[in-house]
Structure 1
Amino acid sequence: MTLDQPNIRRESGDDRRLAIAAAARAIIIEKGLEGLRTRDIAARVGINIATLHYHVPSKEALVALVADSLRRDFRAQAARRPRAGKSGLEQLHLEFDDFRETVLEMPDLIIILTELIARARRDAAVAEIMIPMREFWRKQVADVFRLGIADGSFRPDIDPDAAALITTGALSDCWRRSDISRSLLDQVLAELERAFVQTPNPLQE
């Protein structure tokens, strides 16, 4: 080997898994989860089936990889709008901003998430992956309500877990609608806020 021979960078395992997740996501968008085939993924990534199975040995492992890529996207989105030091109401506004951005500007994420959630209803293995994601989101929203009750930005009689279920349920229904518009989405978010916000008592002013 000569000194001037260029170094050849080998693709790391993490890079390969990211490429597999990206290929799987693209196929889900084009064909749905039912159209997901390992040979198609391998062809898009430029690897053979044996190499693909080394990284994702089962359909469940592939779904878990795709779900993990969604989690990374949502974490990156949340990091662009830091929550530290903000009130419960301010944090709820940030949750709404994230959701509005996802629905209106990141429709591919919604397609993939909807496909996986629909599959989870009839596939226990997929449900084991997707249900914790949904519960984590609901818990985050419940924590926002708990903070808002403590800091006075939300009504003191709110049940945080029930409020989170109402909020995430309404938002989930919005993303399943193909005809959702920004104006309708803004109306839904405004109604949710009005349902929980602490309004001043005129007798105390």
Structure 2
Amino acid sequence: MTQLGLTTDELLSTTRAVRRRLDLRRPVERELIEECLELATQAPTGRNRQRWDFVIVTDPARRAALAGLYRLGLTSPRQRLAGTGVDRTAHDTARRLRLAESAQHLFDHLHEVPVLVVPCVRVENRQELGTPVGQANTWGSILPAVWQFMLAARSRGLGTAWTTPHLHYEREAAELLGIPYDTAVQAALIPLAHTVGTDFRPGPRVGTEQIAHWDAW
């Protein structure tokens, strides 16, 4: 399949969370998805073995139901987060408004996105998530694969976004998609579509001097 011809640095700096510029009318070719999955399988894992699966949702009824769980997670979350941290780039009011509009657009149109991807990581049981080491091993076994999938998608003119609100209703999503809830932990819900245009730019970020701590904090 045709790729955009991005350099490595361009690919890494312009793989954005795409919400408003997802093409809701153009189908995504299965061959493209399979190419992205092939590259995802080459990612390093946290436990030196592949323990992850990707559920690719294209059926309109299942997409609509999954989008409903996403919206429910935002409007009626089962668990309130203690805090969301400090966004050191959030001083720009116009940027905050753009982000809010982008999030609202995805909220309104998620069911129309042609492909929804649910990455999962296999566990012996969910108690593995009960310690910091267990969590690091578990998420370290899925996050690189998902990011590699998203980079592969970007290089092929596809847009993605990492979302998690549906996880408030993870068990219901598992029942909807036939995921074995006790031994497969869902990590995210990734909308996948061709993008409207491909001219994405690097996002606003703080300088490395604000995040790098040499030898000690």
**Normalising to structure 2: TM-score of the pair?**
0.28
Structure 1 or 2: more strand by fraction: 2
Which one scores higher on RCO, CA 8 angstroms, separation ≥ 6? 2
TM-score normalised to structure 1 length = 0.29
